[in-house]
């Protein structure tokens, strides 16, 4: 296995999932604070008030990353720490925290890779319409410019939005994520404004530092249609592919939305697109970030899975509505490393314009805890990362411009509506004591990093 010499190995987290300190240093409430405190929204009524207490323990966490040989750390900036009310009023203590974190990383020889938006919108901003209010485009660009001003001297690669499909559709249509809405018009407006926000934030950051590399991170997947399915299943797969993958990519590369969605939403979409918007949407990005967990499987749908004639409610078989191949992870997601190879090759084939591709998240939830010997033997996660990294190198050898891989997640954390029970960490966290214990997967990943992938074939065998 030959990884390019300049290949970067990282780990990833996000602010609300790990930081805690929800009421510290002037941080304003976010939509996830509100959602978590709404009865019935998160398993066990859990929330991110303390989480991994990373806000206070970041030096120890960075030291652990260094021990593991991690080369880059993808974290997210909590907008409500910098702008508690989501308006122009700054909170310097919020800026200072991320400045300290970035310095700590650089001192440890780890490249900081911030994401500007990983779902924790200031609640006050949402109260003014949030992502459905067009004003957010300018507000997000201002927030991006301020982040570039404060951090762009030291963080040169900045991700604008994390998985916009999730907060637009899961947050505003199916309601299973914050802000918990179920409104098709809101969802469409949110999706369009996110496209504009990515482009305008990129321009705003470049105006501050021309050498900042900006990109979006998408939760991409391949739709696999079961043999013998009805023709409408293929139509549904095409619609879902347009939603999750093509909407975000073709708008930035070509300034258009997929025709299948333009037709599907008709006036509902047309009325949120103002003159000149698609010129604004068109922007060259330095890289494309991909969060890949599994392929999605479709078979003959139940009535409830079919798109209604008026365009909504829209179904969300993101990963599984058909027969899901076994085994699955603790999330019930199938394990499909070949899908990662296929996805990377599709990007090269369909969208060769991207100068660079990064796997900004990949990983698996498994419940293994600390064993009698004080270790965490998470062999299934070891195999999962080994097989997915093998798919990455295969794609690199076949021409993919893949340049980096970030394991999700550095440590166990708050898994959104699933609370703390779903553990994605390479490092185990005891949420009572906050003790961190590197799992076998962390050790395996450290060996992969140290050898730049050379040991991959023998990992977990």
Contact (Cβ atoms closer than 8 angstroms) between residue 95 and residue 139: no
Per rule CB under 6 A, is residue 14 in the interface with ligand IFM?
yes
Peptide bond into 409 cis (omega under 30): yes
- Smaller CB separation from ligand IFM, 118 or 401: 118
Asked if 160 is part of the footprint of ligand IFM (rule: CB under 6 A), the reply reads: no
Number of residues that bind ligand IFM (CB under 6 A): 8
- How far apart CA 47 and CA 29 sit, in angstroms, is 12
3-state secondary structure 192-227: HHHHHHHHHHHHHHHHHCCCCEEEEEECCCCEEECC
Residue 91 or residue 361: which is nearer to ligand IFM going by CB?
Answer: 361
Closest-CA residue to 364 (of 345, 387, 341): 387
Residue 171: CB minimum distance to ligand IFM, A: 12
Catalytic choice (19, 150, 163, 368): 163
Q: Kindly state the smallest distance separating residue 109's Cβ from ligand IFM, in Å.
A: 26
Residues 96-125 that bind ligand IFM (CB under 6 A): none
DSSP notation for 381-418: HHHHHHHHHHHHHHHHHTT--EEEEEEE-SB----GGG
Least Å distance, CB 365 to ligand IFM, is 7
Nearer to ligand IFM, 235 or 316 (CB): 316
Q: Which has the closest alpha carbon to 308: 250, 349, 264?
A: 264
Question: Measured from the CB atom, is 378 or 415 closer to ligand IFM?
Answer: 415
Does residue 163 carry a catalytic annotation?
Answer: yes
Start-to-end CA distance of the chain, whole Å, equals: 16
With residue 314 as reference, give the H or E element that holds it.
Answer: none
Least Å from the CB of residue 280 to ligand IFM: 26
Cα-based angle 233, 238, 241 (whole degrees, multiple of 5): 120
Radius of gyration of the CA atoms of the chain, in A: 21
Cα–Cα dist 419/447, whole Å: 30
CB 460 within 8 A of CB 383: yes
What minimum distance in Å lies between the beta carbon of 413 and ligand IFM? Answer: 7
**Using CB under 6 A, which residues numbered 404 to 443 contact ligand IFM?**
408, 415, 424
309 is catalytic: no
Are the C-beta atoms of 427 and 411 separated by less than 8 Å?
Answer: yes
To the nearest whole angstrom, how small is the minimum distance from the Cβ of residue 291 to ligand IFM? Answer: 5
Whole-number minimum distance, CB 88 to ligand IFM, in Å? 28
- Which secondary-structure segment (H or E) carries 125? helix 123-127
Q: What element of type H or E holds 270?
A: helix 259-270
Q: Give the H or E element holding residue 170.
A: none
- In sign, the C-alpha dihedral spanning 125, 130, 133, 138 is positive
Site for ligand IFM in 16-75 (CB under 6 A): 17
Is residue 163 within the footprint of ligand IFM (CB under 6 A)? yes
From the list 19, 361, 368, 383, the catalytic residue is 361
Q: Interface mask (CB under 6 A) for ligand IFM, residues 380-409, using x and -?
A: ----------------------------x-
Q: Which is nearer to ligand IFM, 177 or 401 (CB)?
A: 177
Please identify, using beta-carbon distances, which residue of 190 and 299 lies nearer to ligand IFM. 190
How would you label 366-389 residue by residue, b for 16+ Cβ within 10 Å and e otherwise?
bebeeeeeeebebebbbbbbbbbb
Identify which of residues 52 and 184 has a Cβ nearer to ligand IFM in the complex: 52
Interacting residues with ligand IFM between 269 and 298 (CB under 6 A): 291
Contact flags string 199-238 toward ligand IFM, x per CB under 6 A: ----------------------------------------
Closest distance of CB 424 from ligand IFM, Å: 6
Nearer to ligand IFM, 17 or 400 (CB): 17
Helix axes 54-68, 92-107, angle to 10 degrees: 20
- What tokens were used for 97? 């925290």
**Interface positions with ligand IFM (CB under 6 A):** 14, 17, 163, 291, 361, 408, 415, 424
Residues identified as active-site: 163, 361
């Amino acid at each position: 296995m030959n990884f390019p010499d300049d290949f970067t190995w990282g780990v990833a987290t996000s602010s609300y999932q790990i930081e805690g300190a929800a009421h510290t240093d002037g941080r304003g409430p976010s939509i996830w604070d509100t959602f978590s405190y709404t009865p019935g929204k998160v398993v066990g009524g859990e929330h991110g008030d303390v989480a991994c207490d990373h806000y206070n323990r970041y030096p120890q966490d960075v030291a652990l990353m260094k021990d593991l040989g991690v080369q880059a750390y993808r974290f997210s900036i909590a907008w409500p720490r910098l702008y508690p009310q989501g308006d122009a009023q700054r909170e310097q203590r919020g800026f200072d925290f991320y400045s300290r974190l970035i310095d700590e990383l650089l001192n440890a020889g780890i490249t900081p890779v911030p994401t500007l938006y990983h779902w924790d919108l200031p609640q006050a901003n949402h109260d003014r319409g949030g992502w459905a209010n067009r004003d957010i485009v300018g507000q997000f660009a201002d927030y991006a410019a301020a982040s570039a001003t404060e951090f762009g001297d030291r963080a040169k690669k900045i991700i604008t939005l994390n998985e916009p499909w999730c907060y637009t559709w899961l947050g505003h249509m199916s309601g299973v994520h914050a802000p918990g809405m179920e409104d098709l018009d809101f969802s469409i407006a949110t999706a369009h404004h996110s496209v504009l926000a990515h482009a305008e934030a990129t321009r705003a950051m470049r105006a501050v530092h021309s050498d900042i590399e900006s990109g979006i991170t998408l939760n991409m997947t391949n739709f696999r249609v079961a043999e013998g399915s009805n023709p409408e299943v293929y139509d549904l797969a095409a619609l879902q592919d347009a939603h999750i993958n093509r909407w975000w990519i073709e708008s930035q590369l070509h300034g258009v939305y997929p025709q299948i969605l333009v037709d599907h939403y008709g006036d509902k979409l047309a009325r949120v697109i103002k003159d000149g918007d698609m010129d604004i949407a068109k922007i060259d990005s330095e890289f494309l970030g991909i969060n890949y967990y599994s392929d999605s499987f479709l078979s003959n749908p139940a009535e409830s899975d079919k798109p209604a004639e008026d365009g909504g409610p829209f179904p969300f078989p993101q990963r599984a509505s058909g027969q899901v191949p076994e085994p699955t992870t603790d999330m019930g997601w199938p394990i499909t490393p070949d899908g990662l190879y296929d996805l990377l090759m599709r990007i090269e084939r369909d969208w060769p314009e991207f100068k660079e591709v990064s796997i900004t998240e990949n990983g698996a939830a498994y419940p293994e805890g600390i064993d009698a010997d004080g270790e965490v033997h998470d062999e299934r996660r070891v195999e999962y990362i080994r097989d997915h990294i093998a798919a990455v190198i295969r794609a690199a050898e076949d021409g993919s411009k893949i340049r980096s891989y970030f394991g999700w997640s550095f440590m166990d954390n708050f898994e959104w509506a699933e609370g703390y029970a779903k553990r994605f960490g390479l490092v185990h966290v005891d949420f009572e004591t906050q003790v961190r214990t590197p799992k076998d997967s962390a050790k395996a990943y450290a060996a992969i990093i140290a050898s730049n992938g050379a040991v991959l074939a023998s990992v977990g065998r």
